Amino acid sequence: MTKKKGIHFEVSERKILLRIMDLAMVFLAIYGLNLYPKFEYLGFDSENIVSLVLLGIYILIFGTIFELYDLQKASKLDTTFRNIVITTSTVVLFYLLTPVLSPYLPEERIQIVYFYLAIIISILLWRLFYINLIESPRFYKRVLIVGEISNIDGLVKALNAKDPNYKIVGFINSEVSTPDSVKFKGLKEFSAQDFLDVIERERISEVLVASFNSEAIIAEVYHDLMLLLERGFKIREYTQVYEELLHRVPIQFVGKDFYKYFPFSRSNENKLYIFFQRTFDIIISVVGLVLGILILPLILIGNLVGNKGPLFYTQERIGRNGKPFRIIKLRTMIVNAEIDGVKWAKKNDKRVTAFGKFLRRSRLDEIPQFFNVLKGDMSIIGPRPERPFFVNELARIIPFYETRHIIKPGLTGWAQVNTRYGGSIDDSLTKLQYDLYYIKHRSVFLDFSISIKTLSTILYYRGQ
């Protein structure tokens, strides 16, 4: 068997490629503008190195905030064009407002327009190339799953939804098959006897092994997997791929060897990281409370007109190590919303008032929680604190649920920037997967990423 190698960019590689090429195209456009003698705003030379670096930093930061590097959105031209325009407009505005580091305004203001259009056109041309070539089928990663029927459905749905370039071609049942065995019809099944032929015929670039029990893999499949491994073929374990692509810990696939899946981040015990995180919490909380006081008159008017009742409310939540505390929020529901008992919050919940809906979508209802952060009950970033009633219910149903309490709960978190509001057991399972991923990979970089995504959530009015 000769292995036919396809061309495929991994998720991280595509994100790096987008960033590098965006910067390269913008700098190329600036260089092109400098060939025009009358353009004097930003010279492409060593004297303007600080200004050029600042431009690159602004593009990367605001490109991230406005989802220019979200692979799902980057594959769609209409969304990409909108994000390019929003990003460029913000970049140019901030660039003009930092004259100490950026060039002084030119006498001919039309040069700003040239500068603005050059950035938009240069990035757009590269993105057109990306969508029509890099996102084409020739760059798909063609994957064959080897595993148990019971694992395949959830795995296929999750991976297909996350990365359209990760093309699952079919699967081979790793268990002994009988006429009475359950069949999976959502994906093409290949015979175990044709394993090696399928690899070559279907131009497979990766084998994904999805099996709870490696002892249950039939001898023929096991032998072929060993043969592929000896030939240097890429074979990966499904929980590894799931976590890498979805940025979630697949707890529904974790068995008695659960301890292998939770080598939690060293940052959880790193005193320097904890010190800087606490410093960050205090600074952001003070700024947040000051801004809250400044807009309080507007909130009072809105509450008087569209909320009618107390402005604040407190509620018991579970904090670090299962310790309860009282959370403070702006009231968004009608008074006595739970007079009939505790209920799940849900989409378009009728208990949410008109003004309360605005507070939730804009995340303004969270402002009083900065006080909880100052007290030390919460952090800016961490799993969202849940109510004792739901913690008790979910802990009985979902394994490892209370593991999320090993760190402080947060005002925002990895689950909040990646999912919509959870109003069911399945939603809570998904949120827990994200929370455990954060605890497992907690770092300054991940905290920064969550902060940027939170800004995107606020700016795009996606609060819940």
> What's the CATH code of the domain at 178?
3.40.50.10700
| Single-letter code of the amino acid located at 228 | L
Q: Say how many residues make up the chain.
A: 464
Dist CA 161 CA 154 (whole Å): 11
* Residues 83 and 188 both lie in one domain: no
Q: Which domain holds residue 67?
A: 11-134
**Does pLDDT of 39 surpass 70?**
yes
**Does pLDDT of 2 surpass 60?**
no
Report yes or no on 115 lying in a domain: yes
* Residues 330 and 453 both lie in one domain: yes
- The percentage of the chain sitting over the pLDDT mark of 90, rounded to a whole number, equals 45
Number of structural domains found in the chain: 3
Report yes or no on 197 lying in a domain: yes
* Residues 204 and 337 both lie in one domain: no
The long-range contacts involving 294-299, CB below 8 angstroms and separated by at least 24 positions, are: 295/364, 299/330, 299/359, 299/364
Report yes or no on 126 lying in a domain: yes
| Residue 213 burial (C-beta neighbours within 10 Å; 0-12, 13-18, 19+) | exposed
Give the number of other Cβ atoms within 10 Å of residue 177's Cβ: 15
Dist CA 298 CA 345 (whole Å): 26
* Residues 75 and 172 both lie in one domain: no
**Does pLDDT of 240 surpass 90?**
no
**Does pLDDT of 266 surpass 70?**
yes
The pLDDT assigned to 408 comes to: 95
The pLDDT assigned to 5 comes to: 54
**Does pLDDT of 427 surpass 90?**
no
CB 171 within 8 A of CB 191: no
The pLDDT assigned to 346 comes to: 67
The pLDDT assigned to 464 comes to: 58
Least reliable range by pLDDT among 137-146, 259-268, 335-344, 439-448? 335-344
Helix extents (H) in 66-204: 71-74, 77-96, 110-129, 149-162, 195-201
Report yes or no on 254 lying in a domain: no
Give the three-state DSSP class for 144: strand
Nearest partner of 67 among 449, 325, 464, 347, judged by Cα: 449
The pLDDT assigned to 341 comes to: 66
**Does pLDDT of 440 surpass 80?**
yes
* Residues 27 and 100 both lie in one domain: yes
- Encode pLDDT of 210-221 as tens digits: 887 777 788 899
* Residues 447 and 362 both lie in one domain: yes
Give the three-state DSSP class for 76: coil
* Residues 119 and 147 both lie in one domain: no
Report yes or no on 429 lying in a domain: yes
Q: Which residues of 101-118 are buried (b: 16+ CB within 10 A; e: fewer)?
A: ebbeebeeeebeebbbeb
Phi, psi of 343 (to 5 degrees): -135, 155
- Encode pLDDT of 186-228 as tens digits: 788 898 899 999 999 998 989 999 887 777 788 899 999 999 9
Q: Please indicate whether residue 112 or residue 185 has the higher confidence score (pLDDT).
A: 112
* Residues 333 and 319 both lie in one domain: yes
**Does pLDDT of 175 surpass 60?**
yes
CB 88 within 8 A of CB 58: no
Report yes or no on 5 lying in a domain: no
Structure tokens at 82: 């909108």
**Does pLDDT of 11 surpass 80?**
no
* Residues 230 and 286 both lie in one domain: no
**Does pLDDT of 180 surpass 60?**
no
* Residues 71 and 148 both lie in one domain: no
The arrangement of strands across the sheet holding 141-147 comes to 189-190, 166-173, 141-147, 206-210, 235-237
Query: How many CA within 13 A on the CB side of residue 203?
Result: 12
Phi, psi of 307 (to 5 degrees): -120, -40
Nearest partner of 292 among 325, 329, 259, 336, judged by Cα: 329
Give the three-state DSSP class for 26: helix
Radius of gyration in angstroms for the set of CA atoms belonging to the chain, rounded to a whole number: 26
Question: What single-letter DSSP state applies at residue 133?
Answer: I
Q: Please indicate whether residue 140 or residue 325 has the higher confidence score (pLDDT).
A: 325
The pLDDT assigned to 92 comes to: 93
Report yes or no on 4 lying in a domain: no
The pLDDT assigned to 258 comes to: 73
* Residues 308 and 430 both lie in one domain: yes
| Single-letter code of the amino acid located at 235 | I
* Residues 274 and 422 both lie in one domain: yes
Report yes or no on 260 lying in a domain: no
Dist CA 419 CA 411 (whole Å): 15
